[in-house]
Amino acid sequence: MKDVIRRARALDEEYNVFNSIAEEVETEGSGRLENVVVSVKDNICTRGMQTTAGSRILEGYVPPFDATVVEKCRGEGAFIIGKTTQDEFSFGTFNVNTPFGVPRNPHDPERSCGGSSGGAACLTAVADFPHIAIAESTGGSISCPAAFCGVVGLTPTYGRTSRWGLVDYANSLDKIGCIGKTVADVALLLSVMSGPDEYDSTVLRVPEEDFTGYLGDSVEGMRVGVPGEYFPGALDPEIARIVRDAIKGLEELGASVHEVSLPHTGASLASYYIIAMAEASTNLAKFCGLRYGLHLPLEGSFDEYFSRVRGRGFSEEAKRRIILGTFARMAGYRDAYYLKALRVRTRVIEDFRRAFKGVDVLAAPTMPVVAPRFDEIAGMEPIQHYVMDVLTVAPNLAGIPMISVPCGKVDGLPVGLHLMADHLQEGKVIRAAHAYEVSR
C-alpha cells in the first residue's frame, strides 16, 4: 500500500489522470474494499481533498464533507487515492474541455481517453495495483471512456446510487457509477455504493443487492435484442463487425438474438442536449465567486462581479451550455424547446419499455468511432462533439442500467460492447457482460 502513492504520481506524470493525489495512505474501517484503492472523479466531494469538477471556478474548493458514495467506500476499508481528471462539469465526450491536465489514451498517447470520466478510465487501464474508479455519467460519461480505454464501465439505474456530494450537471440525468478492469470489480463497487440515503430524496427505495451474486450465471435462454438504429450507415464498419461478432459470442453461450427497433433514437440526441443544458444552466447559477471557489476583488455591483467571475472561471463549453440552457427555458421558447424535449424523452422511454417486453438485454456498439486523435478533435466544431454521443444518450435519458465491456480492437484501439437492461435490472447486464468477458 505504501508504494501506491509513488506509483500514482508516476502514472499521473505519464498520463495526466489526477487533479489531486492523497499525501498519505489513510484508511478507516474494514470490509469488502480492504486493500483496494479507489479513485474519485473530481466532481464528487471528498472531505479535505480539493474538488474542482474540472473547472477553474472551483479551483481550491476543499469540501468539508464526503459524498455519500465516498463515505460508503471508506467504511468498507478503501483507500481514497485521489481525484481523477474530467471535462469541466462533465461537459464533454473527449476529456479535453478542462484547464487542468488532459489525460492521454494508454493505447496511443496522441489520442483521447474519452469523456467526461477520462481520468477514471485511463487510470483504471494503467494502474498496476488493485484499483476501481468511482465515475459519473449524464449522457455517456462512463461508457465512452471505458470503451475508448478498453476497460469496463457500469452506469447503474438512475436513483440506484446517492448523488449527495456530486457537483450537479443535470439532476434528472446524473448517475454515479464505476469503472474497473473487470466486470467483477464494477459489480463489487456498485454493491458498496448503492442504497438509500436520507440526503438524496431521488434514491430509489429498493432492497439492497449484492451484484457480485450475478457473476458466473449462465446466459442460457437469455434474449438479446439488437436495435437496428444503433448500426447506422455512418458507423465505422470495423466496429460494426467486431460488435456483431461479440453478439454472436453471446449466442454461442446459449443466448437468443432478436432484432428490435428503437424508433426515437435519432431525436434522442437533441432531446438529451436540450434537457441537460437546461438543467445545467440552473445548476451552474450557484457559482458566482462568493462562498467557495474562484474569488476576484470585490468591485462593481452584484451583476458586474458575478459576470466577471463567471466569465473568467468557466471555460467555453460551460458558457455555451449555460447560454443554450437559459435559452431553452426562456419564456416564449420554453414550450418549443424544453417541454418538447421532455415529451420526446417520454417517447424514448416508451421505446425501451416496449423493447424490454420481448428481450432481457439490448446489445450495441458503445461508441460510433474508436478514440480520436487530439489534432482531429481540435478541428471539430461543438456540434461534431455532441453527435459522438448518439449511441449513449438514449439509455442515459431513460435512466436504464448499462455496461460497456471491451470486445476487440480496430488498429490497436479498443472497441466497447454496450449491454443495456430495463430499470433495476443491473443483474442482467452484469450476468451477460461477465459471461461474455469470461468466454473471450
- List binders of other proteins among 121-150 (CB under 8 A): none
Kindly state whether residue 232 participates in binding other proteins, applying the rule CB under 8 A.
no
Q: For residues 365 and 401, which CB has a smaller minimum distance to other proteins in the complex?
A: 401
Residues 392-411 that bind other proteins (CB under 8 A): 397-400
**From the CB of 438, what's the least distance to other proteins, in Å?**
31
Part in contact with other proteins (CB under 8 A); list of ranges 35-43, 223-231, 315-323, 405-413 = 315-323
**From the CB of 48, what's the least distance to other proteins, in Å?**
11
Q: For residues 223 and 340, which CB has a smaller minimum distance to other proteins in the complex?
A: 340
3-class secondary structure, 41? strand
Handedness of CA 60, 65, 69, 70 (dihedral sign): positive
**From the CB of 341, what's the least distance to other proteins, in Å?**
6
- Of the candidates 423, 420, 390, 428, the one whose C-alpha atom is nearest the C-alpha of residue 403 is 420
Strands 79-84 and 37-41, by their bridges, are: parallel
Q: For residues 9 and 312, which CB has a smaller minimum distance to other proteins in the complex?
A: 312
Axis crossing angle, helix 265-283 with helix 340-358, rounded to the nearest 10: 130
Q: For residues 35 and 346, which CB has a smaller minimum distance to other proteins in the complex?
A: 346
Residues 166-185 that bind other proteins (CB under 8 A): 172-173
**Full DSSP string of 46-93:** BTTB---TT-GGGTT---SS--HHHHHHHHBT-EEEEEE--SGGG--S
Residues 70-109 that bind other proteins (CB under 8 A): none
d(CA 242, CA 417): 9
Which of 208, 375, 381, 411 contacts other proteins by CB under 8 A?
Answer: 381
Catalytic residue among 141, 143, 162, 404: 141
141 tagged catalytic: yes
Question: Scanning the structure block, which residue is given the C-alpha cell 449527495?
Answer: 164
**From the CB of 232, what's the least distance to other proteins, in Å?**
14
236 within 8 A of 388, measured Cβ to Cβ:
no
Question: What backbone phi and psi angles, to 5 degrees, belong to 152?
Answer: -100, 130
d(CA 375, CA 386): 17
**From the CB of 8, what's the least distance to other proteins, in Å?**
25
d(CA 86, CA 19): 9
41 tagged catalytic: yes
Q: For residues 79 and 386, which CB has a smaller minimum distance to other proteins in the complex?
A: 386
Catalytic residue among 20, 39, 112, 116: 116
Kindly state whether residue 380 participates in binding other proteins, applying the rule CB under 8 A.
no
Which of 216, 304, 354, 440 contacts other proteins by CB under 8 A?
Answer: 304
Axis crossing angle, helix 4-15 with helix 118-126, rounded to the nearest 10: 120
Residues 321-350 that bind other proteins (CB under 8 A): 322-324, 326-327, 330, 333, 336-337, 339-347, 349
Q: For residues 111 and 310, which CB has a smaller minimum distance to other proteins in the complex?
A: 310
Beta-carbon contacts of 288 under 8 Å, excluding residues fewer than 6 positions away, are 305, 306, 309, 310
Q: Which residues are catalytic?
A: 41, 116, 141
